[in-house]
Structure 1
Amino acid sequence: MIDRLRSLWHGADRDDPARSPSSPDDVQADARVASSLRTLLDDPGVPDAVRAELAHEFERVEHMLDKLERGELHVAVFGRVSAGKSALGNALLGHQAFRVGVLHGTTTQAAHAPLDEASAPGLVLIDTPGINELDGETRERLAFDVAEVSDLVVFVADADLTRDELDALTLLAGTQRPLLLALNKTDRYGDDELRDLLEHLRTKTAGLVRAEDVIPVAALPAPQRIVETDTDGHEHVTKASRPPQVAALRERLVSIAEREGKTLSAINAGLFAGRLSDQLTARIAETRRALAARVIRQYCIAKGVAVALNPIPVADLLAAAGLDAAMVVQLSRVYGLPLTRRESGRLVATICAQLAALMGAIWGVQLVSSALKGLSAGLSTVVTAAAQGALAWYATVLIGRAAEQYLVNGKNWGEHGAKRAVADIVGTLDRDSILREAREEILKRLKQRGKTRS
């Protein structure tokens, strides 16, 4: 859908005079984007912690939804300090809405002002800080932050583009917003000089700005010098202010707002919603992984200690299987794909079958240590119990990670099946470090238990 919307700006149908400013396709696309935004806002699957973490982004989505419903097109005005951004905004508006000054830093925050509703319904200008302010990092970040929620960008220059300006223009183009380049202060140039400069700028920005969107303006033309001679032959010099020369740019913006405003607004909203959706997916996955890791560790401790303390041969292994099934049930809830106890038992059996085929020697050692623990006494029992508990811990990690992989894939082992999935899990885990951690933790807990009893 977004590709279709974007094509309305970049594609041939943008200039088709027969195309209606609000064709049925556009109206349907706008409605789908609005519906997607509402779905994103109301998604019950977003955990409260993730929603709180991304509260600012959710506020932006609400802002975009309101903007779509009001039919507004937001135009951000960018440029370096003193290029005339604020003056151009005021000239387009026809009144002093934005602060204008000769000192750096006059514009410190983004400011919004709507154009005359009678001639430009829904068109809102956003003035931004200069891209080369003294504390430029903060203000540049603010400027690009505004660009992300704007639908169209007017970049203001007053001469040939510097390297910094061209870099900024390139970054702005990367936000996938349509760009207009306004060459300000054109009253300083002669006709031939202005024509050559415009041609140079169109060549220099090819691929970033359409040639017809490089537009000359004069937001604050220098006063006109008027020389008058009185009856005595004395010359008197006066200066008369001249009106802004922004008609071409204003007409271009009004034309875009009328014909493509809703489309551009929908493009921007859709792109932002897509990025937020990706962020949500990543954060939710990260949250689930962290919670799953805690669940697995809790069951590792429970299973490792339970196996170490159970003096009855083989019976401890049966108890451990029950813990594995309970762990898988908990993991399935973490990933929002609940399993019954029977389903979790079958999943554990599948995983254990694959582990037995891959690691038969390990399970053999566990069975031997189980028997030794029942026949031994004293120190050998403690040593054997710790070893067996560590193996049980390691087995829990393997089963938990394998079950997690199965759930992440939507209750599916993937195209290569359970054997490959379990083998990959085994291959990615550091067995020695897990066993070492398990032994240390189990011995610590056994000592604590011994002190409690004494």
Structure 2
Amino acid sequence: MIKNINMPKKCKFILNEWKKTLNLTNYEKKKFETLLNQLDFQINKLEKKELQISVYGRVGVGKSSLLNALIEKQVFKTDIINGNTKKIKSYKWGKVFKSLNKIELIDSPGIDEINKHKREEEINFNYLLDTDLILFVIDSDITRIELDSIEKLLKQNKPILIVLNRCDQWNERETKLIISSITKKLSFYKQKVEIALVASSPREAKIKLDGTVRSYQKSPKIDFLKSELQDIIDQSGELLLCINSLRLADQFYKLLKENRLLKKKEAAQSLIGKYAAFKASGVAINPFLMVDLFAGIGCDSALVIQLSQLYGLEVGGSAARELVKKLSLQNSLLGGVQIGIQITLNFLKHILILASPLTGGLSLAPATPVAIAQAALAIHATKRIGRHAAYKFLISTNRKDGRPRLMLDYLLRKNTDLRIMLGDFRFLASKSNKNKKHLLP
């Protein structure tokens, strides 16, 4: 675990400096006003060292009773009828933790709440994302809807602690089988999953003298969870605040890039078309392959820089050349089949041009379609480079504009021993990136 001394101050400084470099337009400030306010709220929490912990899970798994057991008060309403929590409720936890000034516990409606409107569900989920640690409560073997919700939260880099409630209902063997099944279904996480066993509102059946059976409330069994929370918050409370602030900043930056790519799509297409035409005419006229290749690299580098300026996503000259090099290799302009085609066409064109004095200029006629073929290849390659460059702007992170993502990655790499599930799932994010192709020129 890295030392968290002054981490909130460092994180806050980086975020505030990063916001200044974005050069947001008035349109962008208005469009993303809600998200920017959320980010300011998170930075304020970071500065004040105020942590929010929420419970989440299906209807009737005992979320409210779990919170009541933690604070040792009947603050959150419970009932034998499932789905008692209809609105988000919060309570300031009086327990003292190291390095933090305030802990807020938040109760939320169930995932599968009956008659819940989609808009209301979205609002509740977004509120959940603002919290810094999620106690994901289940009361049996994990279900498909719970797995989907966990995956959705992990995509957002949300810290999750799995809480298995009502463990008093099973014997030791049954408990082991349930935990084994849960762990197997969460195997996509690829790390050991910590599961806290609790009984937030256990009851015991007793037979009365008249033969009737009554159920009596017993003391909650949550000592292990209390101990886990104490350790997690004491050791990583400030880190969780940093992660949440950086997560939101990274989310905002992704949406900003998507908006800029979409808004500038037509202008980008026009710019790529101009460079394609310029490169095609040069390739068709010039008989020397190496000149074509080096001129093409220079042209593509200029295109990438122009695109970066158009989108307002800066890329320096050396970074642009490196990007072009990678893109050129990817689309096989400088490697594979296409380079072979270029060499063959160029060699054939060169022979036909040299032979023109001997043929009275007749050999120049066949050279024309060869030049046209080369020009077509140049246009195709330039368009692909422009499209790939835009895609790289969408998914890549540079040192200046992508500081929240870079710092978030650093914190996650240096804190692999956290006893929570924390979503650093690039393979999950890549799936959503593939659905963004409509943003590309």
Q: Distance in 2 between matches of 1:109 and 1:49?
A: 33
- 1-structure distance, mates of 2:134, 2:88: 13
Aligned to 1:264: 240
Matched AA of 1:255: D
Letter in 1 for 2:133: L
Distance 2:108 2:199 in 1: 19
1:70 and 2:17 are equivalent in the alignment: no
1:128 aligns with 2:108: yes
When residues 66 and 209 of structure 1 are mapped into structure 2, their CA distance, relative to the original with a 3 A threshold, is farther
The answer to whether structure 1 residue 188 and structure 2 residue 166 are counterparts is: no
Deviations 1:59-84 (CA, angstroms, capped at 9, x unpaired):
11111111111223322211100011
Q: Which residue of 2 aligns with 1:243?
A: 219
2:153 corresponds, among 172, 194, 197, to: 172
How far is 1:239 from its partner? 5.7
Between the aligned partners of 1:426 and 1:159, the Cα distance in structure 2 is 55
Secondary structure of the structure 1 residue equivalent to 2:158: coil
> 2:182 & 2:56 partners in 1: Cα distance?
17
Amino acid at match of 1:63: F
**Secondary structure in 1 aligned to 2:52?**
strand
Q: Is the 8 A contact 1:75 1:124 kept in 2?
A: yes
Question: What is the CA distance between 1:403 and its match in structure 2?
Answer: 11
Structure 1 pair 114/284, CA: closer, same or farther in 2 (3 Å)?
same
1:279-358 correspondence to structure 2 within 5 Å: 279-284=255-260, 286-287=262-263
| C-alpha spacing 1:30/1:406, structure 2 compared with 1 (3 Å) | closer
Contact 1:74 1:125 in 2 (8 A): yes
- Give the whole-Å Cα distance in 2 for the aligned partners of 1:54 and 1:128: 26
Instruction: Please give the TM-score of this superposition, normalised by the length of structure 2.
Output: 0.57
Q: For residues 67 and 316 of structure 2, what CA distance do their matches in structure 1 show?
A: 56
* Structure 1 pair 243–282 and aligned structure 2 pair: CA distance change class (3 A): same
Question: Could you say what secondary structure the match of 1:114 adopts?
Answer: strand
Identity of aligned residues (%): 22
Specify every segment of 5 or more residues in structure 2 that has no aligned partner in the other structure, as ranges: 286-302, 326-374, 384-441
Equivalent of 1:34, from 1, 12, 30? 12
Indicate the residue corresponding to 1:159 in structure 2. Answer: 140
The CA distance in 1 between the partners of 2:80 and 2:201, in whole Å, is: 13
2:58 is matched with which residue: 74, 80, 98?
Answer: 80
For the structure 1 residues 28 and 207, does the alpha-carbon distance in structure 2 shift closer, same or farther, using more than 3 Å as the test? farther
Task: Tell me which of the two structures has the higher relative contact order, counting C-alpha pairs closer than 8 angstroms and 6 or more residues apart.
Answer: 2
With over 3 angstroms needed to count, the CA separation of the structure-2 counterparts of 1:357 and 1:62, relative to structure 1, is: same
CA distance in 1, matches of 2:65, 2:223: 14
Among 72, 77, 84, the residue aligned to 1:94:
72
Quick one: which amino acid aligns to residue 160 of structure 1?
A: D
- Alpha-carbon distance in 2 for matches of 1:89, 1:113: 9
Measure the CA separation in 1 of the matches of 2:188 and 2:382: 48
Question: In terms of Rg, which structure is larger?
Answer: 1
Contact residue 7 and residue 238 of structure 2 kept, 8 A? no
Tell me the CA shift for residue 351 of structure 1. 12
CA-CA distance at 1:258 after TM superposition: 0.6
Structure 1 segments unaligned to the other structure (5+ residues): 1-12, 14-22, 229-233, 297-330, 332-347, 361-400, 429-454
Residue matched to 1:345? none
Change (3 A) 1:55 1:109: farther
Aligned pair in 2 of structure 1 residues 356, 242: CA closer, same or farther (>3 Å)? Answer: closer
Q: Which amino acid aligns with 1:257?
A: I
What is the identity, as a one-letter code, of the residue corresponding to 1:245?
A: K
Is the CA contact (8 Å cut-off) linking 1:181 and 1:209 kept in structure 2?
A: no
**Shift, 1:252, TM fit:** 0.8
Alignment of 1:376-395 (within 5 A): none
Change beyond 3 A, Cα 1:356–1:123: same
Structure 2 counterpart of 1:99, one-letter code: K
Q: Of residues 240, 252, 257 in structure 1, which corresponds to 2:228?
A: 252
2:425 is aligned to: none
- Which residue of structure 2 aligns with residue 198 of structure 1? 179
Does the Cα contact within 8 Å between 1:76 and 1:147 map onto a contact in 2? yes
**Cα distance, 1:49–1:282 mapped onto 2, change above 3 Å:** same
Distance in 1, matches of 2:67 and 2:215, equals: 24
Matched, 1:49 2:27: yes
2:203 matched residue in structure 1: 222
Distance 1:209 1:102 in 2: 37
CA distance in 1, matches of 2:80, 2:21: 48
Count of aligned pairs between the two proteins: 307
The alignment's TM-score, normalised by the length of structure 1, stands at: 0.56
Specify the alignment match of 2:127 in structure 1.
146
Answer whether contact 2:8 2:238 (CA < 8 A) is retained: yes
Q: 1:116 maps to what in 2?
A: 94
Residue deviations 1:410-434, cap 9 Å, x none? 69796479xx9xx759986xxxxxx
- Note the C-alpha offset of 1:266: 0.8
Counterpart-to-counterpart distance in 1, 2:22 and 2:278: 37
Separation of aligned partners in 2, 1:353 and 1:209: 50
Give the conservation status (yes or no) of the 8 Å contact 1:72–1:261: no
Q: Which amino acid aligns with 2:71?
A: L
